Amino acid sequence: MKIGVLALQGAVAEHIRSLEAAGAEAVAVKRVEQLEELEGLVIPGGESTTIGKLMRQYGFIDAVRAFAGQGKPLFGTCAGLIVLAEEIEGQEDAHLRLMDMTVARNAFGRQRESFETDLDVKGINEPIRAVFIRAPLIKKVGKDVDVLSTYKDEIVTARQGHLLAASYHPELTDDYRLHAYFVDMVKEAAASKA
């Protein structure tokens, strides 16, 4: 099973390491054609406006929408979560508009307000370690979105079918269980097509 990490910006190598630790083959994705050989895709953190611009420039917006349209799982972390969202607070335009949620950028403040915490995530037995860096928040979700975890009553992890989103950076810790959760989603999606 091959899972890609969109390599336009962000902690690509760290996501690849976490996916491999979770038992998947992982590759950096720099070209649209690479999507054809993948079963799942991670959209990492970075700066959402920049990622969105680069995705448009290199033809990834329509290609990733089509990829998701085939039922192939997507996992967005931090800025990647913003890229997946239907709506971004205070912004006219969203990027992929795949996940039925409204998000707020930099909801936890600036870089110096970054922090780490242990989070309970539905579907994972023990709390996972989460690193929040200029993190976005999920302000509201549609009825088909399952809230997997909250921090101080705010939504920070959510799933809608084959789409997974986290406000934080699971790849910046040695805890790869959220990546393993995503790998399981990819396996389920591939099995349902077989």
What's residue 119's pLDDT?
A: 96
CA distances from 58 to 6, 33, 119 (A): 12, 11, 35
First CA to last CA distance, the chain: 13
Q: Which of 15, 95, 169, 179 is catalytic?
A: 169
Distance CA 43, CA 89 (A): 20
Contacts of 169 (CB under 8 A, 6+ apart): 11, 14, 45, 77, 78, 130, 131, 132, 133
Q: What is the pTM of this model?
A: 0.96
Active-site residue flag, 171: yes
Q: Would you state the structure tokens that stand for residue 125, as one six-digit string? A: 């037995």
**Domains assigned to the chain:** 2-193 (3.40.50.880)
Active-site residue flag, 169: yes
What's residue 86's pLDDT?
A: 97
What's residue 80's pLDDT?
A: 95
Phi, psi of 4 (to 5 degrees): -95, 155
Q: Which of 78, 86, 95, 179 is catalytic?
A: 78
What's residue 105's pLDDT?
A: 84
What's residue 10's pLDDT?
A: 87
Query: Averaged in consecutive runs of 10 residues, what is the pLDDT profile of the chain (194 residues)?
Result: 94 96 97 97 92 95 97 96 95 93 79 83 95 92 97 95 96 95 96 82
What is the distance, to the nearest Å, from the Cα of residue 73 to the centroid of all Cα atoms in its chain? Answer: 10
